[in-house]
Structure 1
Amino acid sequence: MKRSTLAALSLAIATTLGAGLAAADPIVIKFAHVVAENTPKGLMADRFKELVAERLGDKVVVEVYPNSQLFGDDKVLEVMQLGDVQLAAPALSKFSRYTDVLALYDLPFLFEDLHAVDRFQQSEAGQGLLKSMEKKGLIGLGYLHNGMKQLSSSQPLRVPEDAKGLKFRIMASEVLEAQFEALDAAPIKKPFSEVFTLLQTKAIDGQENTWSNMYSKKFFEVQPYITESNHGLLDYLVVTSTEFWNGLPDDVRDTLKAALDESIAYGNRIAYDKEAEDRQAIIDSKRTEVIELTPEERAQWVQAMRPVWKQFEDEIGADLIDAAYAANQE
């Protein structure tokens, strides 16, 4: 056989083998989030990793990066569109750069409990919001609960006047900013990863968060008071880039979506349980006093914060706000 023929044959074999190896390379999904592994989000992410390994084997590898190890929520959506991260679950407040309508979930005293949240999110209106950012290159894949938000502070908060002049850490959200301004308090936008230090050093006076976040991040150890206000919702949107998601093979995408739906349902069940468990763990620690509001005291907080709805009605949509509020009565 001529040398030229042998060379051509060798090149063809090498090319074929190379193509085979390339085809065998797994799809890597980096799932970045900012909370601890023992939170509803952290446990959901780990469950998703397990299910994908069971069902797709070496075809897809999920890498989970908790505790802001890879990116914080303020950066992750940007790098997602560059292909550096494939999945994240930022708080719904984090999407204000991409759409106005998800600010609905930041409105104070909109939902009475997580059951009302579930009813709205599974409705046609709630599911429609998952697609509100497709033109911006992002697609929502599902809602994940953390829980209802409480107020922690360096001093007791029983009525709205008690918050006057205090500095509260918030996520980057105009609605949350307006919420604390309605109390004549000072909202301070800071990353979640900095909250414990800010509280410990008294750079801020308080913050709003769920029982599971306050317990897992030990905020209760550096805050003498927590007011059980249930004034807001902290939910997450499991999100990916439209380019990545639509570029997957159909069978892989379908399997991933099914695994994600199961994982989110698993995380949401944990969220329900952890609200009660972590609340009790904080009380049992005796490191902080949990203040339970009387109906009359809570009504004062509602009255103080409710004008925020009207302030953002044009951006969010009055019909959408009405639909969400109606979920409380079903």
Structure 2
Amino acid sequence: MKKKLFSLMILILVLVLTACGGDENASGESDDSGGNEIQEKTIKFSHVVAENTPKHQGALAMKEYIEEESDGKITVEIYPNSSLFGDQDEYQNLVSNNVQFIAPDISKFVGNNPQFNVPSLPFAFDNDAAALAFWDGDKGQEIMSSLTDDGVLGLYVWPNGGKHLTNNERPIESPDDLEGLKFRTQGGQVLEAIYSEMGAGSESIPFGELYTALDQGVVEGQENTFSNIESKKFDEVQKYMTVMNHTRVDYGLFTNTEFWDSLNEPTKEIVEAGVEEGTEVAREKAKALNDEGYEIIKERGNVEITELSPEQVQDFRDALQPVWNEYEDEIGSDVYEAVRAANDEYGNSTE
């Protein structure tokens, strides 16, 4: 009888433990990365530009897709205009997983990898199509994947387009016209070399502080895309603008690897699809918003605009060829070849 009673107690204990274990596994699966349910997540996306820009439009498209497809289980919070983190601290906060997505100008990563200088190479790409062909290609993807030791994964490049010069001193029509002026740049060795080659100075100033810096004369000028110049109203505090397309703003969409790896299969499918949707919108909007921004700048009439002739552009190309030569070893001849190949194939495109 005692043996039967003991066996019965053991059986009851096993059944209880099995039931408890089953409950634990079932409740844990909704949060576990191996589960089959969409996880509840709050995703923060921080960027430094205004709402009426390609970057913000891409972020909005990404937010709308993810929230709709997850039935509200995933919330995407977007913080534009440096309202959460600015140029100087957004990367470190991504590394710390305080924010899950950022989309900075990739030239800001030249300290991590000098190959991020590609958009700063003078006159490297004629248009967005050529730039994207490079970044979507093998070499571009290799560069975008080079930050994983920091816990950062590069996903896609969102173009903002070619940059143009504004300043407060005089029209810029030739390399000699930059002599003695100081321009704000995003930073990096190649951009510094460009202005040094033309006898000008450069200073890295956070984007959110640039309007005030121009207004107070901390720098005489800056370089940026039409959409950024228009949306941040830099033409209110500048007198001259030269249409240059000499360097580019290309944003990299980066995420935190800890966050990315925490997503289970159904959740990651939604987030990845949302990222692709945002990428498509950001790329479609880039040229349209730059064209619109240029027209608005002209309509406002705050700046005197100089459009360079092909001969004048060639003068700048010739003057800046030493920059290409100086950085070929550091950036890599294989990267140079990929840049030239993309531009040769897509440089005549109107897209």
Q: What TM-score do you get using the length of structure 1 for normalisation?
A: 0.91
Deviation at 1:237, TM superposition (A): 0.2
Which segments of 5 or more consecutive residues in structure 2 lack a partner in the other structure? 1-19, 32-37, 346-351
SS in 2 for 1:230: coil
The yes-or-no answer on 1:63 pairing with 2:63 is no
Q: Helix, strand or coil: the match of 2:247?
A: strand
Amino acid at match of 1:180: Y
1:53 aligned to 2:71? Answer: no
1:127 equivalent in alignment to 2:154: no
Q: What residue is the counterpart of 2:277 in the other structure?
A: 262
Shift of 1:25: 7.4
The Cα shift of 1:279 comes to 0.6
CA RMSD of aligned residues (A): 2.3
What is the identity, as a one-letter code, of the residue corresponding to 1:169?
Answer: R
**2:231 is aligned with 1:227:** no
Q: Which moved more, 1:145-154 or 1:307-316?
A: 307-316
Q: 1:29 and 1:44 mapped to 2: Cα distance?
A: 15
> Which one of 25, 38, 43 corresponds to residue 29 of structure 1?
43
Partner SS state of residue 279, structure 2: helix
Give 3-state SS (helix, strand or coil) of 1:139's partner: strand
CA distance in 1, matches of 2:266, 2:329: 41
Tell me the distance in 1 between the aligned counterparts of 2:337 and 2:111.
24
Q: Is the partner of 1:34 in helix, strand or coil?
A: coil
What amino acid is the match of 2:264?
A: P
How far did residue 21 of structure 1 move?
A: 12
In the alignment, is the contact (CA less than 8 A) between 1:156 and 1:162 conserved in 2? yes
Aligned to 2:310: 295
Q: Quote how far apart the aligned CAs of 1:175 are.
A: 1.3
In the alignment, what sits opposite 2:119? Answer: 105
Superposition map of 1:199-278 within 5 A: 199-278=214-293
Q: Give the superposition deviation at 1:144.
A: 0.3
2:316 is equivalent to residue 304 of structure 1: no
Q: CA deviation at 1:22?
A: 8.5
Q: Is residue 72 from structure 1 mapped to residue 72 from structure 2 by the alignment?
A: no
- On the 8 A contact 1:109/1:306 being kept in 2, the answer is no
1:161 to 158, 173, 176: 176
Task: Compute the displacement of 1:324 (Å).
Answer: 0.6
The answer as to whether partners of 2:95 and 2:150 remain within 8 angstroms in 1 is no
SS of 1:314's equivalent?
helix
Q: Name the count of aligned residue pairs.
A: 320
Match of 2:213 among 198, 205, 216: 198
Take 2:29 and 2:263, find their aligned partners in 1: how far apart are those partners?
A: 18
Deviations 1:250-281 (A, max 9, x none): 22112211111111111111101112111111
CA distance in 2, matches of 1:216, 1:140: 26
Select the structure of larger CA radius of gyration. Answer: 2
Q: CA deviation at 1:113?
A: 1.2
Give the residue type in structure 2 aligned to 1:58.
G
Counterpart of 2:290, as a letter, is E
3-state SS of 2:245 partner: strand
Q: Contact 2:111/2:188 (CA < 8 Å) preserved in 1?
A: no
Asked if 1:186 is matched to 2:205, the reply is: no
Runs of 4+ in 1 over 4 A off after TM superposition: 19-25
TM-score by length of 2: 0.86
The one-letter amino acid of 2:341's match is A
Of 283, 286, 310, the residue aligned with 2:298 is 283
Decide whether the 8 Å contact of 1:93 with 1:172 is kept in 2.
yes
